[in-house]
Each structure stands twice: as structure tokens, then as C-alpha cells.
Amino acid sequence: MNLEYENSFEIQGGNFQEAGDISVFIKKKLQNLGVAREILRRVAIAVYESEINIISYASKGIIHISISPESVVIDAEDEGPGIENIELAMRAGYSTATDKIREMGFGAGMGIPNIMNCSDKFTITSELNKGTHLTIIINISNNDAEKNR
């Protein structure tokens, strides 16, 4: 299997109409590439939560995804307000979602914790009034052995 794929997707803040589209596209792509269901599930969740956060909180962003036989690497980078307290943002249940975001069905404070659960390696950096950058790595080879899922 020739497992190599790379693509970038632009996201506009506030564009809830297209929320989830990137995740669905990537999921189909990985399915066609023959990636295992468990990996697929984790990539789809990580991409979904990343795109919803960019739509919800940032002015714009890019999700870059790179697939190799070893891993799936997702970079979600945005221009926006940044995150004041990353430790808090990583905590289950913490949310600053506005009423508008909550009306769309989001704001449980579970997005970042979900991403972390799906990642083999997760890093988040953020600068106030600049933006936020998540790097998510999901291993493909030896995945079960490493994570013991």
C-alpha cells in the first residue's frame, strides 16, 4: 500500500455551515487509502474538534494534514484571539463558548480533551491576539502496541 497523502484546508471563522466538512473529506480519503478503522475514527475526531474550534473562536485558520505509512500528522493553525490559559483549556468541561456557539450545539468543553485522547502526541501553542497552533500525531504502524488500546 502506497500510503502518502498531503493536503491543506482553509477555514473561515464563523462559518458554521461548513462545520465538519474537512473531517468528512479526510475520513473518506483515509477509507479509500485503506487505513484501519480505529485510526480513521481518531483522525476524524481530532480534525472535527480542531475545525469546530477554529470556526468558533478564530478569524481564520488552516488545517494541514500529512499521511505517511508511519503516522497521520494534523497541524491546525489559526489567526485569532489565542488561548490565555492553555492548562485550563485542556481541562474537560472548561469552555468560554458564547450563547451563539452553544446554540450551534457546541461548548461542552470537551473538544481539546477529545483531541488529546485521540492523539499519540499532542502539542498546543498559543499567543494572545495572534493565534493558536495544535499539532496532533496519530501513529499508524505499531499503533495498538504503543497505545495498548
Ligand X SMILES: Nc1ncnc2c1ncn2[C@@H]1O[C@H](COP(=O)(O)OP(=O)(O)OP(=O)(O)O)[C@@H](O)[C@H]1O
Q: Tell which positions 9-48 bind ligand X, by CB under 6 A.
A: none
User: What binding mask, one character per residue, do residues 88-127 give for Mg ion by CB under 5 A, x or -?
Assistant: -----------------------x----------------
Please report whether residue 78 would count as binding ligand X according to CB under 6 A: yes
Question: Taking CB under 6 A as the rule, which mask of x and - marks residues 80-99 in contact with ligand X?
Answer: xx-x-----x----xxxx--
Closest Cα partner for 44 from 27, 60, 58, 22? 27
Q: Which is nearer to ligand X, 33 or 108 (CB)?
A: 108
CB–CB of 33/93 below 8 Å? no
Q: Which 3 state secondary structure label does DSSP give 30?
A: helix
Give 10 or 70: the residue with its C-beta nearer to ligand X: 10
C-beta of 35 vs 55, nearer to ligand X: 55
Note the residues at the interface with ligand X (CB under 6 A).
49, 53-54, 56-58, 78, 80-81, 83, 89, 94-97, 106-113, 132
